[in-house]
Amino acid sequence: MQIQSMHFKQTASQKLNDAVLQTAMKKAKGKFVDGRAAAVAEVDAWQDIRTYAAAMRDRVIANLDAYLIEFERNAIARGAVVHWAETAEEANAIIVNIAKQNLVKTVTKSKSMVSEEIALNDALEAANIEVVETDLGEYILQLAHEPPSHIVAPAVHKSKEQVADLFAAAHGRPRSTDITALTREAREVLRDKFLNADMGISGANFVIAETGTTLTVTNEGNADLVTTIPRIHCVVTGIEKVIGTLEDFATLIRLLPRSATGQSAANYLTLTTGVKSADELDGPEQMHIVLIDAGRTKLVGSNMAEMLRCIRCGACMNHCPVYQNVGGHAYGWVYPGPMGSVLTPAYIGIEKAGDLPNAATFCGECQVVCPVKIPLPDLMRKWRERQFDGALRPWHERASIKLWSAFATRPRLYALAAQVAARTAAILGGKQKRITWLPGLDGWTDGRDMPAPAGKTFREQYREQHRDSAIK
**What CATH number is associated with residue 226?**
3.40.50.10420
pLDDT band, very low/low/confident/very high, at 362 (cuts 50, 70, 90): very high
Q: What pLDDT does residue 134 have?
A: 97
In a domain, 264, yes or no: yes
Q: Do 32 and 98 have their domain in common?
A: no
What is the torsion angle, in degrees rounded to the nearest 10, for the CA atoms of residue 378, residue 384, residue 389 and residue 392?
Answer: 160
Average pLDDT over residues 39-51: 96
Give the model's pLDDT for residue 308. 98
Write out pLDDT tens, residues 278-291.
Answer: 888 889 999 999 99
What value does the mean pLDDT take over residues 82-107? 98
The mean pLDDT value for 6-14 works out to 93
Whether residue 132 sits in one domain with residue 163: yes
Q: Is residue 309 part of a domain?
A: no
Task: Give percent of the chain above pLDDT 70.
Answer: 99
Total structural domains within the chain: 3
Is the pLDDT confidence value at 254 over 70?
A: yes
Answer yes or no: do 148 and 262 share one domain: yes
Q: Please state the rounded mean pLDDT for residues 35-62.
A: 97
Q: Is residue 308 part of a domain?
A: no
76 is a domain residue: yes
φ/ψ (deg, to 5) at 66:
-65, -40
How many whole angstroms separate alpha carbon 161 and alpha carbon 280? 44
Residue 448 binned pLDDT confidence (cut-offs 50, 70, 90): confident
Domain end point (choices 298, 330, 345) = 298
Asked whether residue 410 is assigned to any structural domain, the reply reads yes
Give the residues across from 109 on adjacent strands: 133, 201
Q: Are residues 262 and 173 in the same domain?
A: yes
Same domain, 381 and 407: no
Residue 189, in any domain of the structure: yes
Over residues 159-187, the mean pLDDT reads: 96
Cα torsion 189, 194, 199, 200: sign:
positive
Residues 248, 187, single domain; the answer is yes
Q: Read off the pTM.
A: 0.90
339 against 456, higher pLDDT: 339
Q: Which domain holds residue 13?
A: 1-42+314-393
Do 153 and 275 sit in the same domain of this protein?
yes
**Pairing mode, if any, of strands 199-202 and 106-109?**
parallel
87 and 228: one domain? yes
Mean pLDDT computed over 263-287? 92
Last residue in a domain, options 393, 428, 457: 393
Query: Poorest-confidence range of 9-23, 34-48, 351-365, 423-437?
Result: 423-437
Closest CA to 349 of 297, 376, 387, 322: 387
Query: Would you say residue 303 lies in a domain?
Result: no
Question: What is the chain's mean pLDDT, rounded?
Answer: 94
Based on the domain organization, do 75 and 124 belong to the same domain? yes
Angle at 336 between CA 9 and CA 240, to 5 degrees: 140
In a domain, 438, yes or no: yes
Minimum mean pLDDT among 2-6, 38-42, 170-174: which range?
2-6
Specify the amino acid at residue 373.
Answer: K
| Domain match, 173 and 271 both | yes
Q: Mean per-residue pLDDT for 443-455?
A: 81
- CA-CA-CA-CA torsion sign (214, 83, 153, 333): positive
Query: Residue 454 pLDDT more than 90?
Result: no
| pLDDT level of residue 438 (50, 70, 90 thresholds) | confident
Question: What is the pLDDT confidence band of residue 2, given thresholds at 50, 70 and 90?
Answer: confident
Q: Pick from 27-36, 235-244, 443-452 the range whose average pLDDT is largest.
A: 235-244
Residues 97 and 243 in one domain: yes
What pLDDT was estimated at residue 39?
A: 96
Nearest CA among 267, 319, 375, 296 for reference residue 33:
319
In the chain, % of residues over pLDDT 90: 82
The predicted pLDDT at position 280 comes to: 86
Give yes or no: residues 419 and 360 share one domain.
no
- What integer pLDDT is reported at residue 472 of this predicted model? 61
pLDDT at residue 241, rounded to an integer: 98
Average pLDDT over residues 242-251: 97
Boundary-marking domain end, from 342, 362, 393: 393
